[in-house]
Amino acid sequence: RDFSEADKQIVFDEARRIIKEIIPLHRQLQEKGQIEVITTPYAHPILPLIFYSSLARVGNPGAEMPERFSYPNDAIAHLERSVEIYQAHFGMAPQGLWPGEGAVAEEIVPLVAGAGYTWMATGEPVLAQSLGIGSFTRDTKETIQQADDLYRPYYVQGNSGGKVAVFFRDWTLSDKIGFTYSGMSGEMAARDLMARLENIRTRLKEEGASGPHVVSLILDGENAWEYYDNDGKEFFHAFYQLLSESTTIKTITPSKYLELFPEQRELENLFPGAWFSPNYDTWIGEDEENQAWSYLGRVRYDLSRYDMLKTRSASSEAIAQAQDYMYLAEGSDWFWWYGSDQDSGQDEYFDAGFRALLAKVYESLGEPAPAFVNVPIIPKKPAAADQNIQGLSTPIIDGISSADEWNNAALYSTTAAPANSLAYTFDATNLYLRLTFMRQPPPEYRIGFYLAIPHAADHFPFARAAQGEAPVLLGIAATRLFEWDGAEFKAFTAGNNGWTDGTTVKNATLSIKDTTAGVPILEAAIPWE
């Protein structure tokens, strides 16, 4: 507290100075041979799903899938751009690749090789499925029992050529560093890790395996060091000291390992999966995820009319900008937060960001964004009812609230004048609605009830606007509208570009009557069919 703007500027300047040193420092260490810096495809996509989304069915045959998304050229672009950016910063071509979320499949191997990568990495569940063993087993000390299988790279070659080595992450040891050791002293954590590495060496000797073997420890740095005391420095110092003293365990970069030991086993098939699962369920298959893929596919098709089909034209600069927004929208993080399996606490923020990128594709091409881009994939949280529905009921639609007839209805109060409350109930025949008012609405007042019907073919995100009115964003993917215009009760159906011409609701009953206070009550019965 009590820091001046000048004080803050000192902190900001120092932070910027340190940030600017990060890449030059790592470039220097790489040039000395101390480290190997790898990269990820441009916008961190789930590369196999960009290549062909139906690959998700291999790991989960029963999953609900969106309409197929398959743009191999985009997958190639993500890889080529990652190489260009890497070369610009490190003065050399990258050798190693961490695919977004460790997501791999045999189908992308030729693309990875074609971009110049010689190796990539993923998780042990992928190797277990690729070997047909289901999963690796561990003893009471959490030591892998199939050690000779896990602790080595494998060469994989796709059907169209191109060979890439694949290293597989030790799940338990990597997660110890990422999530467990932060709760221990650095010295104790380092000794525990070294003991576990020695246990692996012992197991390899028991198997009679011939080495040298390599243990891959792979983790997200942002998930670990902020939880360690002093950013993990005690752990690092103790671990590096123990490694320096060890005569049996050595550090090596993956590229150097392949250079020294080029003869490695080959996998006949690289199972589609990610770093923690032999499937892509976190990014596709749930309703929200599938809707996001549907949005992505519709926008990508519209863009393809410019950059692939050539049925529409724009400047090369406009198309390049639209492609860049498209690639950013193909990133994995948007899909990570859709669905029920992950929760950021502000998933609506990521939804808005994803759809903003899709809108930018059209803006770059000089086209208006279609209405669906404005429809939230994650709908607004529903208003809490003052009373939840208590059961079926059949109120009399006469504009008069008789005693008890709406007792079972759900009730919502509102301060959105001139309305006062909304109630609904239903029976086997009708949906019943009641709207009360705090004062007489103006003569030109229109009353609309917007419904969102799941799996409807079309939806529209804006309220129906009369001529000269600005459309209002509803916040839901509305599919049906029932509207009272003061004279008729009409039904409208959502289309791609708006609401269809209204037709009088058949067999509907609607009544508006003044109460003794002179304020009307609207009651309606809408048939289910």
Q: What is the pLDDT of residue 254?
A: 98
pLDDT tens-place string over residues 473-515: 888 889 999 998 878 889 999 987 789 888 887 766 777 776 6
User: Under DSSP, is residue 80 helix (H, G, I), strand (E, B) or coil?
Assistant: helix
Do both 226 and 331 map to the same domain? Answer: no
Q: What is the pLDDT of residue 437?
A: 86
**Which pLDDT score, from 0 to 100, does residue 475 have?**
81
Is pLDDT at 39 greater than 60 in this prediction? Answer: yes
Region 116-142 average pLDDT: 98
User: Mean pLDDT throughout 89-117?
Assistant: 97
User: What pLDDT was estimated at residue 515?
Assistant: 65
Is the domain of 357 the same as that of 445? Answer: no
Kindly report the CATH number assigned to the domain that includes residue 235: 3.20.110.20
Residue 91 lies in a domain: no
- Structural tokens at position 389: 């529905």
Ordered DSSP codes for 334-378: HHHHSSSS---S-HHHHHHHHHHHHHHHHHHHT-PPPGGGGS-SS
pLDDT of residue 517: 60
Judge if 255 and 186 occupy the same domain. Answer: yes
Q: Would you say residue 382 lies in a domain?
A: no
Q: Which of 217, 239, 267 is the last residue of a domain?
A: 267
The yes-or-no verdict on residue 516 having pLDDT over 60 is no
pLDDT of residue 209: 97
Task: Check: CB of residue 477 under 8 Å from CB of residue 463.
Answer: no
Average pLDDT value for residue range 68-95: 98
Task: Supply 60's token pair.
Answer: 């989960």
Q: Are 502 and 491 within 8 A, CB to CB? A: yes
Residue 447 lies in a domain: yes
**Span 123-146, average pLDDT:** 98
Asked, for residue 229, whether it belongs to a domain, the answer is yes
Q: Are 479 and 493 in contact (CB under 8 A)?
A: yes
Residues 421 and 345 in one domain: no
Task: Lowest mean pLDDT of 171-180, 309-318, 428-437, 460-469, name the range.
Answer: 460-469
For residue 418, is the peptide bond before it cis, meaning its omega torsion is within 30 degrees of 0?
Answer: yes
Domains contained in the chain, number: 3
Centroid of chain to Cα 69: 15
Tokens of 451: 């419904």
> Is 93 domain-assigned?
no
- pTM of the prediction? 0.87
Q: Which domain holds residue 470?
A: 410-527
Q: In terms of pLDDT, which residue wins out, 507 or 138?
A: 138
Percent of residues, the chain, with pLDDT higher than 70: 99
| Same domain (yes/no): 330, 472 | no
**Beta-carbon contacts of residue 23 (< 8 Å; ≥ 6 apart):** 89, 90
Considering the domain boundaries, does residue 32 fall inside one? no
Same domain for 217 and 291: no
Mean pLDDT of the chain: 93
| One-character DSSP codes across 179-210 | IIGGGS-HHHHHHHHHHHHHHHHHHHHHHT--
pLDDT mean over 332-361: 96
> Is 343 in the same domain as 197?
no
Lowest mean pLDDT among 4-8, 42-46, 442-446: 442-446
Q: How confident is the model at residue 402 (pLDDT cuts 50, 70, 90)?
A: confident
Stretch 303-332: mean pLDDT, rounded?
98
Q: How far apart are the first and last CA of the chain?
A: 64
Q: For residues 234-240, give the mean pLDDT.
A: 97
Which tokens in the block code for residue 215?
A: 């243990």
| Residue 336 and residue 420 share a domain | no
| pLDDT at residue 259 in the model | 98
Band of the pLDDT at 518, cuts 50, 70, 90?
low
| pLDDT over 80 (residue 403) | no
The residue from 232, 267, 302 where one domain ends is 267
Q: Do 253 and 292 reside in the same domain of the chain?
A: no
User: Is there a single domain that holds both residue 323 and residue 249?
Assistant: no
**Would you say residue 53 lies in a domain?**
no
Residue 236 within a domain: yes
> Residue 276: is its pLDDT beyond 80?
yes
Q: List, in sequence order, every residue forming a beta bridge with 257; answer none if it has no partner.
A: none
Please indicate, yes or no, whether residues 362 and 420 belong to a single structural domain of this protein. Answer: no
Alpha helices in 208-341 (DSSP H): 233-245, 254-260, 287-307, 316-329, 332-337
Cα dist from 62 to 346, 426, 524, 527, whole Å: 30, 34, 42, 35
Same domain for 322 and 422? no
Domain end residue (candidates: 234, 267, 300)? 267
In this predicted structure, what is the pLDDT of residue 442?
79
What is the separation of C-alpha 286 from the centre of its chain, rounded to a whole number of angstroms? Answer: 11
